[in-house]
Amino acid sequence: MTLPPEGHYPAIATPNFDGQLVTFGAAGTKTEEVLVQFRLLEGIYAGTVLGWFGFLTRDAWRLTIRQLRVAGWKGRNLSDVRSLDHVVSVVVKHSLCGRYAHVDWVRELTGPRVRCRNTMTEDRIQRLCDELAAQDDLPGESDGITLEEFKAREGEPEAPRAVVNFPCVGSAAVSG
């Protein structure tokens, strides 16, 4: 099986081989954890199922609950996870020198929410825009391409990209 490249993919939680949405277990370090499997929904990797581990330590449980909430969990008791029905954006990472892929983060499909610390009033926005428009030395217009122009280029050969391979630390310890 070819691993999906690292990146963001739309996905949804899918039951495991026992029909459960959440599997409770412990890592090799004895850290208690939950496992949720996510099925990728688009592209050539649609249907690929990857696991996400949420840790239940004193320091990590809030992050685990937050990511389960993003996936659609409602309730207060983890033993009652009946619905993880939200389509989410999963961040796929590779581990063990690229031999395995897993879900590293579960995010809202719209991506992380970014906000300005202090939003401007409509009046201030208008004054600022008027001040900027009055400047004589505004930068020239961009020579970039529009989304339509970008899509029209599909099928054209891409310019070669430099590929940098970094040695995997500890690769001698990985048996294959």
Whole-angstrom Cα distance, residue 125 to residue 119? 10
Delimit the domains of the chain by residue range.
Answer: 7-108
**CB burial string 2-31: b at 16+ within 10 A, e below:** eebeeeebebbbeeeeeeebbbeeeeeeee
- Of 59, 58, 75, the C-alpha closest to 21 is 75
What is 91-150 written as a DSSP string?
Answer: EEEEETTTTEEEEEEEEETT------SSPPPHHHHHHHHHHHHT-S-PPPPP----HHHH
Kindly report, residue by residue over 115-153, the tens digit of the pLDDT: 677 888 888 888 887 887 787 766 665 556 566 766 676
Contact between 70 and 111 under an 8 Å Cβ cutoff? The reply is no
Which segment of 55-59, 91-95, 168-172 scores lowest on mean pLDDT?
168-172
For residue 174, the model assigns a pLDDT of 38
DSSP 8-state secondary structure symbol assigned to residue 6: S
The amino acid at 40: L
Q: Look at the pTM and tell me if it is higher than 0.75.
A: no
Query: Distance between CA 166 and CA 97 in Å, rounded?
Result: 10
Residues 37-47: tens digit of each pLDDT: 999 998 899 99
Percent of the chain clearing pLDDT 90 (strictly above): 14
- pLDDT confidence band for 175 (50 / 70 / 90): very low
